[in-house]
């Protein structure tokens, strides 16, 4: 059974009409605000993507999530153009995404269990939303494997990215201090403890005892993480997040923790914590240890450049249009893709990006 058939059986909303119908509908959230070739992006799409980003990273600022959402969806439109040019089997991946969703529903045991699981995991609310998420991941992986030389282009063989020579590796070690250093390791987790029952005092005592036990060595950091009702593991310096997290993570040592300023021990309260699980400063490698790491790093940088150049070239050929109703949007997208783009005439009701 296809996803479309499942939606029909469940009485789900019908497929949103094309751009012309959406724009005439009078529903602001369904108005197309960006078009990348045939890929249409509505305000509702931006809101949904921002919602998913905030769900996956609750520390992200609201404005940052919206800016990231615009970036992600424009890149998705460019990805689909690139996939078509590279003869990626899009219909096949759409069918595979359907099959994957059906298997996930079967594994979950019921439709309700499936939707609850995907909402908790990814912030996804509808079956079609998850199908599109899987489909885009399939396409993204295939395109990147072609561009990075890991998979054949249909009928054209492999792209070649030359590996760095021993001379290049030694030169990088000698001339670039950064290449001589083992990178710093920073790992931290964002924890939430929810009140259970009616007693705020019991909630406060439970969290307090856990932190005291951590300080006394009675429990490990991992055991504290396991006690939390929700835990999000992070690596590296945080981006697009609350100032108190940035300040703490940038200077705290392994084993340190900080209670969030908006934590509430009262009725229906939630206590949030940031804990540092590892913070190791950088150290200098001898060349014998560094050369294999430098080789991988240089190769990775070359792959990234090839991918960036490919998508820049894709963007130059794309037919991109944005609404003039959102001040700053045209300049933002133009800067993102590296060229000026078309816009329509702003309406009376405008909003800032």
If we measure between CA atoms, which residue out of 146, 121, 147 comes closest to residue 134? 121
Higher pLDDT, 237 or 94: 94
Q: Enter the tokens of residue 299.
A: 């190769």
Q: Which of 64, 288, 86, 262 is nearest to 173 (CA)?
A: 288
CB 82 within 8 A of CB 143: yes
* Backbone conformation region of residue 338, classed left if phi is above 0, alpha if psi is from -120 to 50, else beta: left
Could you give phi then psi for residue 29, rounded to 5 degrees? -70, -20
Query: Which pLDDT belongs to residue 159?
Result: 61
Confidence check: pLDDT of 284 > 60? yes
How high is the pLDDT of residue 18? 35
Distance CA 247, CA 285 (A): 29
Section 273-292 average pLDDT = 89
Tell me the helices (H) and strands (E) count for the chain, helix number first.
Answer: 13, 10
- Confidence grade of residue 99 (pLDDT, cut at 50, 70, 90): very high
118-172 residue pLDDT tens = 988 888 999 999 999 999 999 999 998 888 777 666 555 556 677 899 999 999 9
Q: Give me 75's structure tokens.
A: 């890149």
| Average pLDDT of the segment spanning 275-301 | 89
Does pLDDT of 105 surpass 90? yes
Q: 268 vs 78, which has greater pLDDT?
A: 78
Please name the residues in contact with 57: beta carbons below 8 A apart, sequence gap of 6 or more: 232, 240, 241
Which of residues 4 and 225 earns the better pLDDT score? 225
Does the pLDDT at position 102 exceed 90? yes
In percent, how much of the chain has pLDDT > 90?
33
CB 37 within 8 A of CB 77: yes
Q: Which of 167-171, 236-240, 290-294 has the lowest mean pLDDT?
A: 236-240
pLDDT in tens, 26-72: 455 678 999 998 899 999 999 999 999 988 888 888 888 999 999 99
Closest by Cα among 156, 106, 69, 51 to 353: 69
Domains and their CATH numbers in the chain: 3-160+307-343 (1.10.4030), 184-281 (3.10.50)
Q: Minimal CA–CA distance to 291: which of 169, 175, 183, 184? A: 169
Tokens of 56: 């996956």
Dist CA 238 CA 244 (whole Å): 11
pLDDT higher than threshold 50 for residue 265: yes
The token duo for 52 is 């998913």
Whole-number pLDDT of residue 351: 47
Taking CA atoms, 321 is separated from 32, 68, 290, 341, in Å, by 10, 18, 47, 6
Best mean pLDDT range from 16-25, 100-109, 158-167, 258-267: 100-109
Whether pTM exceeds 0.75: no
CA-atom Rg of the chain in angstroms:
24
Predicted confidence band of residue 109 (pLDDT cuts 50, 70, 90): very high
pLDDT in tens, 181-231: 887 888 999 998 888 776 777 878 888 899 999 989 899 999 999 998 888
């Amino acid at each position: 059974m296809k996803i479309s058939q499942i939606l029909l059986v469940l009485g789900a909303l019908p497929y949103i009409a094309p751009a012309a119908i959406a724009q005439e509908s009078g529903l602001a959230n369904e108005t197309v605000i960006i078009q990348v070739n045939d890929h249409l992006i509505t305000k509702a799409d931006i809101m949904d993507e921002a919602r998913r980003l905030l769900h996956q990273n609750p520390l992200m600022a609201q404005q940052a999530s919206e800016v990231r959402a615009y970036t992600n969806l424009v890149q998705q439109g460019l990805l689909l153009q690139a996939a078509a040019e590279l003869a990626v089997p899009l219909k096949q991946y759409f069918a595979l995404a359907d099959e994957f969703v059906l298997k996930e529903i079967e594994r979950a045991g019921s439709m309700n269990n499936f939707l609850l699981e995907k909402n908790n995991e990814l912030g996804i609310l509808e079956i079609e939303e998850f199908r599109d998420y899987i489909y885009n991941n399939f396409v993204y992986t295939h395109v990147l494997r072609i561009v990075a030389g890991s998979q054949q282009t249909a009928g054209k063989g492999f792209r070649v990215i030359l590996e760095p020579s021993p001379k290049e590796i030694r030169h990088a070690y000698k001339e670039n201090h950064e290449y001589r250093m083992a990178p710093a390791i920073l790992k931290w987790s964002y924890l939430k403890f929810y009140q259970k029952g009616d007693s705020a005092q019991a909630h406060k005592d439970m969290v307090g005892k856990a932190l005291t036990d951590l300080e006394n060595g009675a429990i490990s950091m991992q055991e504290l993480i396991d006690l939390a009702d929700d835990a999000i593991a992070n690596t590296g310096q945080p981006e697009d997040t609350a100032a108190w997290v940035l300040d703490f993570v940038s200077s705290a040592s392994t084993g340190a923790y900080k209670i969030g300023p908006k934590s509430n021990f009262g009725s229906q309260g939630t206590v949030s914590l940031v804990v540092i699980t590892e913070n190791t400063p950088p150290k200098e490698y001898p060349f014998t240890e560094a050369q294999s790491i430098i080789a991988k790093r240089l190769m990775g940088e070359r792959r990234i450049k090839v991918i960036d150049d490919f998508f820049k070239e894709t963007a130059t050929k794309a037919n991109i249009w944005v609404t003039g109703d959102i001040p700053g949007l045209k300049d933002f997208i133009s800067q993102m893709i590296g060229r000026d783009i078309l816009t329509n005439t702003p309406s009376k009701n405008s909003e800032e990006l």
